[in-house]
Amino acid sequence: MSNSMTTEQKIAKSQRIAQAALKLFRERSFDEITIAQIAQTAGMAKGTLFNYYKTKENIFMNLLLEGYQNFFTQLNNKILNFKELTLIDFKQLMLQVTSELIKEYPDLVRLNTLRGPILEKKADKEQTVIGRKKLYEISGNLSENIAARVVELTPETINHLFVTQGAIIGGLVNLSGLEQFNHEKLPIEVFDFEINIEKEAKKVFGFYMDGLFKEKEG
């Protein structure tokens, strides 16, 4: 077997593990998922899985980083279709992107809320750094391409916009479950706290961009 084929097979098996973990993540909470369940779903022994990932946090950190790499790559391809964008056009585009992130990438949004408090505690630091470097390269390229089309904004400002977008969505996701405990509806009628995450995220993010862009225009 050639070295190239061996590498391809390893990548394929690693992806199989990741997809098995993602399948389970869509069915249950993170705490309910075990390495044994992931291995069984992937159709392999636990020992084989450990050759690729030492912890389940490692698997999900990889899913998070690769998910955002793919998301930013697709957004970059969309940006390249524009020659220039006004601040108003860019605001509408970012609100559309916010909707797409929430509706089309719910697993990614949910994983992002676990990154700091859960995933980083047991994920492999070296693998995480490699994944983040790749993510920063992709997101940096995206910000440069946006700045080339929205003359009022710098790449640094655009980077902060994406960080703010993620913080707004993550905060709303965490608040949206107050009427539940461990995925079960609480048997008390004291909550008027059900949140339309997409609607609220776009509203708050829109207000933020209005203030920021007003400063840039001034």
| Each residue's pLDDT tens digit, 58-98 | 999 999 999 999 999 999 999 999 999 999 999 999 999 99
Domain-terminating residue out of 11, 38, 53: 53
Report the residue count for the chain: 218
My answer on whether 44 and 88 are in the same domain is: no
Structural domain including 28 reads 1-53
My answer on whether 91 and 5 are in the same domain is: no
Average pLDDT in the chain: 91
Q: What is the pLDDT of residue 1?
A: 38
CATH number at residue 163: 1.10.357.10
My answer on whether 19 and 115 are in the same domain is: no
Q: What are the CA-CA distances from residue 214 to residues 88, 105, 118, 202 (Å)? A: 11, 30, 37, 18
The band of 216, judged by pLDDT with boundaries at 50, 70 and 90, is confident
CA-CA-CA-CA torsion for 190, 191, 192, 197, nearest 10 degrees? Answer: 180
My answer on whether 149 and 196 are in the same domain is: yes
Q: What is the pLDDT of residue 194?
A: 72
Domain-terminating residue out of 53, 73, 92: 53
My answer on whether 44 and 87 are in the same domain is: no
Domain-terminating residue out of 33, 53, 73: 53
My answer on whether 32 and 62 are in the same domain is: no
Residue with the larger pLDDT of the pair 12 and 216 = 12
My answer on whether 49 and 146 are in the same domain is: no
